Amino acid sequence: MEYVYAALLLHKEKKEINEANISNIIKASGAEVNEAQVKALVAALADVNIDEAIKAAPVAVAAPAAAPTAGGAKEEKKEAETPSGKSEEEAMQGLSALFG
Q: DSSP characters for the chain? A: -HHHHHHHHHHHTT----HHHHHHHHHHTTPPP-HHHHHHHHHHHTT--HHHHHHHS----PPPPPPP-TTSPPPPPPPPB-TTS-BHHHHHHHHHHHT-
Q: What does the pLDDT read at residue 57?
A: 85
pLDDT at residue 50, rounded to an integer = 92
Query: Does 71 score more than 60 pLDDT?
Result: no
pLDDT-derived band of residue 89, with 50, 70 and 90 as boundaries? low
CATH code, 37: 1.10.10.1410
Q: Is 72 part of a structural domain of the chain?
A: no
Q: Which domain holds residue 18?
A: 2-56
In a domain, 25, yes or no: yes
Percentage of residues in the chain having pLDDT higher than 90 = 51
Tally the domains of the chain.
1
Residue 95 falls within a domain, yes or no? no
Contact 37/3 with Cβ under 8 angstroms?
Answer: yes
The answer to the question of residue 71 being in a domain is no
User: Could you tell me the pTM of the whole model?
Assistant: 0.57
